[in-house]
Amino acid sequence: MALGRGLSAILDEVSQAYEREMNSGGTSVGEVREILIDNITPNPYQPRKNFDKDALFELSESIKKHGLLQPIVVIDKGDNYLLVAGERRLRASKLAGLEKIRVIIADVDIDELKLRELALIENIQREDLNAIELAHSYDELIKVYEITHDALAEIVNKSRSQITNTIRLLSLSNYVQKKLINGDISQGHAKILVGFDTDEQKLLVDTIIGQRLSVRETEVIAKNRKSKSSESEPIFIKKNINFVINHKDKISQKLPFDFKLKQDKLEIKFRNEDELKKFLSMID
């Protein structure tokens, strides 16, 4: 099955609806109208599941103050209207407590297949999705249209390796995927965890978060885990905790007091109050 007519052709139809609104005197289609929000049905194929609450609140406050400057796009389905573009604006308008919303009724013939294309590819092109949602979008397009990773890469203007590596994130456990969606770990971290079993993934991701490991540090411990094949052994990454001792000579030159060095600690012993006052004058 070919991938429909492509994103550009579909988006052109929506763009024409906007143009007709700008040039028309109020025709039945392409015009801006106000309709009840409750009469609008979201696109069932919208792959974007997570919307930033703070950003939605800011948009809703702007809509309260200035109104909705850019109408959403819907198509008339007879008994209701189907959302084509503008889900963030629709959600923010609901959050603002509006009963009606400004819409453009697009004079386009969007069947179920093209609606799926529009929801998936438009979001991919605008990079609105988190890594897991993007992976699901890639995977669905490949399966539904029976195309290769190379073919999809050309359609969405991404590299084949980016497509493949993103889809591989779907093999991660739900626990790791949730941490990635929530921003607790980066996509770079998540890619390293692919190939480990569920228990190892949890152990590794908890270590990444708990020890605030960089992607490079995660690569090191992941490589070690693969070579040792340990199951439940705690993970520690060696940090430079001897930074105080490393400066022993310079400290000796600067401090005319008795002191002790313990890796990351410097202990100063004052024999009398005069030494304490001298030290305080040094740091004053």
CATH 3.40.1280.10 at 7-127, yes or no: no
**Residue 222's closest CA among 179, 197, 193?**
193
The span from the CA of 152 to the CA of 264, in Å, is: 53
Phi then psi dihedrals of residue 72, to 5 deg = -85, 165
Tokens of 98: 């509006």
Phi then psi dihedrals of residue 244, to 5 deg = -70, -50
Q: What pLDDT is stored for residue 29 in this prediction?
A: 46
Residues 138-177: b if buried by 16+ CB within 10 A, e if exposed: bbebbeebebebebbbebbebeeeebebbbebeebbeebb
Question: How many beta carbons lie within 10 A of that of residue 46, not counting itself?
Answer: 17
For residue range 230-284, list pLDDT tens digits in order: 445 555 555 555 666 667 777 777 777 777 776 667 788 878 888 878 877 777 6
Compute the half-sphere exposure of residue 40: CA atoms within 13 Å on the CB side of its CA: 28
- Percent composition of the chain: helix, strand, coil (DSSP 3-state, to 5): 55, 10, 35
For residue range 179-200, list pLDDT tens digits in order: 998 889 999 999 999 999 999 9
Q: What pLDDT is stored for residue 193 in this prediction?
A: 94
User: What are the extents of the domains in the chain?
Assistant: 7-127, 172-228, 245-283
Given a cut of 50, whether residue 28 has pLDDT beyond it is no
